[in-house]
Structures are given as structure tokens and as C-alpha cells.
Amino acid sequence: MAPCEIVYVASENLAKSSSLLPSNRNRSAFVHALVTSLGLFRRSAHSHPLPSHQLTVLRPNPASPLELASYHDRSYIDALLAKPPGPDAASCKEFGLEDDCAPFPGLREYVLGIGGASLTAARELAEGRCDIAICWDGGRHHAHKSKASGFCYINDCVLALLVLRRAPPPSLSSSISNQARKKSRIMYLDLDVHYGDGVAAAFRGAGARGQVLTLSVHYAARGFFPPSEHSALPDPSSDLFDPFTLSLPLHAGASCATFMRVWQAVDRILTAFAPDYLVLQCGVDGLAGDPIGAWNWSLGGEGGLAWFVQRILDSSAKVLLLGGGGYSPTNTARAWALLTSIACGAPLALDTPIPTHAAFPMYAPSFTLDVPAGNLRDENSDDYLMEIATVFERVAEVLRTQLA
């Protein structure tokens, strides 16, 4: 078996600037401190029965304004990067830099840092230096081409997807049909509780049809952010149906049992599209205990987040793991630390004690890695889940036809 090369993109400067984000203050510091204290960087290289997983920590360089302009409008970038006292009131209103996306001290460093981190991770994959890249500080999926939205100032997901779209198909693809392709196929899968509207908008109707496919699994309810006419279940019979921009909405209380059924729909798309690269946005605001409070997903168990992500990593695609939502810093750190261990081929047990480190008291009362399910009722009925299965089987048929 060829070695599985893993890149973990992180640095002290990146953690420091990411921890300034008002919606996720200090979260980045929690995540990287827990990953470090669990010994995952050492463990990945020495504890696996076979030396098949090799992890490298890579310090990214900040993005340049020109690199951000590969997607975002230059006038918007200029406003984001304006030196103190920052953009004027008119620019803030024009570019959505208000309310949940108001400018904050350190915004310039944050934007350049997040952009550089996800670009670094994507290039490591695109240039064949790794099989899995991890960038937990990325995953800001709501930002639009010229407007901030939903705590997201730049869309690093889109920046990474554009890098992978330009990359040739991996030369060592396990699929003969993949080797014959002239262009890579890239799938974006979003597990955040919020609809990944910014990424979907970037590729909907774009010239990348057949090359980039986006699928957002999210909570949908009247008044829940972000409002979008595109967040509903797709209708393959509609003249407006786009099989490359997909939405899978779930009701309140989605549990492991629901996500086992959801996986069947996702797997149909994964099999039909057969991506060379897969970008997985691992927002964890759907876990039980998150302040958003919409779902009842657990970290472990059959159908849990770890179970779901393991199946993505078992695919033949090269995978980029990004962060996203998650408003309990300790539960977010627990989840991404466990997913890091899974990517390294040496999954930690859910009852693993939280090691003694600076943030240790914050992990009370369990002081373990587990994020168990709560008591929220799962409102996703059997009839609705059967409807999802039927719709996505039809979507998969359309994809197979269009890609033949």
C-alpha cells in the first residue's frame, strides 16, 4: 500500500488571527491546542500498525490581494484590506461589512491568513504532495464575490476549489476512466448546519459544468439563515434543475439514524460523479450541544459525524478537510481533533481523556473527547427520508447521463 501523505495547515500566526473572529473567538486556539496535546502529530507517524499515514504540519504564507482576486472583486478586497481606521461607512454598507460581518481589529491579517491557509492546502493536493489536506481554520462558505455574509469575509472554499479545478487529474488515480479525463472533477460537500450559499452561488451556472459539483446538507426552516430559494430539495423534472448544484435540506433534530439515510443519497452522487478531488466542509454546528440547537447529531456511533467523514476518506478521491461553523469551542475542538486522528489512520476512542493543557478546565464535566447526542426529537420522518432517497437516485441518473 502506498503511503498516505497528510498535510495539516496551521501556524501560531494563523491561530492568533483566526481566534480574533468575533463569532468564533479563541476557537482556533482551542482546536490546535487540543490536537497538539493529544499528540496527534507524533501519533500519526508512530502508532499505526503499518507506516501508511505520514502527517506533515505546514505553515502557510498569507494570501496576496491578487490571489484573493481569483474570485473576489478587487473593490471588495480593497475594502477588506483597508488599513486602520478601516473602510468608510459607505463601503461597509456596500460590501456587507456590518452587523454579523462588521470590521474588527485584525481583519486584514485574518482575511489574508485564512485565504493563504486554504490556498496552501489546495495546492498541496493539486501538486500531488499529499492525499489528504486539513485546514480547520478554513471553511468560510457564506461569503460572496463582493459581499461578506454570515461571519464569512472571504470564501476560502471557492478559492480552494478554483485551484483544484485548474489541476490535472491525479496521475495515480485508481480509476481507468479517471485517468482518461482531460480535466479533473471536484466535488464540494458541505456538512454545516447552514446552507453553503456562497459556494453554490460561485459555481451555479458557471462554465465549470461537469467539472465542479456542490452538495450542501443543511437544516432548512422558515427564517433560518441563510434565506435562499436554492436551499430546497432539488426537482429533477424542472427546467431550472442543475445536477451540479445540489441541496439536501433536513428538518430539526437530525440524528445519527437520519444521517445513515442521508449517506445513501450522498454516496449515490459520489459514485455517479466520481470526483478526483473532494472538498469537505466539516462545519460542526449541527452537533448536539451547539448553541445553534437545530440538530441532534453525535460525534461517534453509526451515522455519527466521524462515521460519515470516514466514508468520505475511504473514497478514491483526494480530500481537503475544511472547518466551518461550530459555536461551542470545546465541542468543535473535540470534533476536529477526532477527525484529524481518523485522517491519520489511527482513530482515537471517544472516551479518550482530554489531556492536561491550558484549556483543560473548559472541557468539564466529561473531560473526554465524546460529543454525545442529546434529547432533541428527530423531525425527519421516514416518508421524508424516502423522498430524499428517490430524488437523489433520479439526480444520480441525470448525472450519469450527462457525464457519459
What is the rounded (10 degree) CA torsion for 233, 238, 240, 242?
Answer: 60
- Distance separating alpha carbons of residues 264 and 268, to the nearest angstrom: 6
Q: Are 110 and 25 in contact (CB under 8 A)?
A: no
Domain residue spans of the chain = 4-403
Domain 4-403: assigned CATH number = 3.40.800.20
Rounded to two decimals, the pTM is 0.95
Find the DSSP H helices in 167-299: 176-179, 197-203, 256-273
Q: Are 231 and 197 in contact (CB under 8 A)?
A: yes
Return the number of other C-beta atoms located less than 10 Å from residue 358's C-beta: 10
- Distance separating alpha carbons of residues 110 and 108, to the nearest angstrom: 5
Closest by Cα among 57, 81, 82 to 67: 81
pLDDT, tens digit, for every residue of 71-128? 999 999 999 999 877 889 999 999 999 999 999 999 999 999 999 999 999 999 999 9
Q: Which residue ranges of the chain lie beneath pLDDT 70?
A: 1-3, 43-52, 172-180, 207-209
- Distance separating alpha carbons of residues 14 and 63, to the nearest angstrom: 12
CA of 34: how far to CAs of 28, 114, 136, 387, in Å?
10, 20, 13, 40
Q: Which residues contact 14 (CB under 8 A, 6 or more apart)?
A: 28, 59, 60, 113, 114, 117, 137
pLDDT, residue 255, reads 98
Residues designated catalytic: 142
Q: Count the residues in the chain.
A: 404
Q: Are 326 and 284 in contact (CB under 8 A)?
A: yes
